[in-house]
Amino acid sequence: MQREGDGGSRLKFYMRELARLTGRLRLLASIVLGVTSVNFLTSLTIIVTLASSRYWDYWFVIQMAVIPISLTVLAIGAIWLYERCKREGAVLYEELSEEFEWRISTRVQKPGREEDDVADLDARVTLRLYAAMTDLWFAPGRLGIAAYTVLNLGLALFVVSAAVAQLRD
């Protein structure tokens, strides 16, 4: 448990927490990209397979449609977790940024305080790494999340509609 007056250790704790969230964002962004890529390739393969013949077993077609649906659910779950971590990190980012701005503006420069400069550098690097990870790979900004969601949902709907069309024939 941390003491109330121990601002330095609380600051370090929150910096480590922001670094942990940055790592989690990096992992989740990679998962979203990977699952979406697999979903795209799988959907393409399924569409080509279904189009190559007019006669497929009913259960085979159903099983083929379940794969992109499952991948879509996995991708949307990863996107949701990504957004949740991003919101949590945004709060820490804002508070830490304000704290460092306040410390810098009120600190009187004293010679021989290199450890403060190193701590400030570590903090700036951590803050910038977090800021860099707030966008999904290949789709920056708020539209990136929408793009990945729409792409995954579109792939699932496309494969399901192709499977339904195959079953009607």
Per-residue pLDDT of 20-66, as tens digits, reads: 999 999 999 999 999 999 999 999 988 888 778 766 777 777 888 89
**Any domain includes 11:** no
Alpha-carbon distance 152 to 71, whole Å? 8
**Any domain includes 132:** yes
Domain total for the chain? Answer: 1
Structure-model confidence comparison of residues 11 and 153, the more confident one: 153
**Any domain includes 2:** no
% of the chain with per-residue pLDDT over 90: 34
- Which domain covers residue 159, as residue numbers? 23-168
**Any domain includes 125:** yes
Mean pLDDT of 5-29: 84
**Any domain includes 103:** yes
**Cβ neighbours for 74, distance < 8 A, ≥ 6 positions apart:** 35
**Any domain includes 90:** yes
Mean pLDDT of 132-157: 87
pTM, to two decimals:
0.78
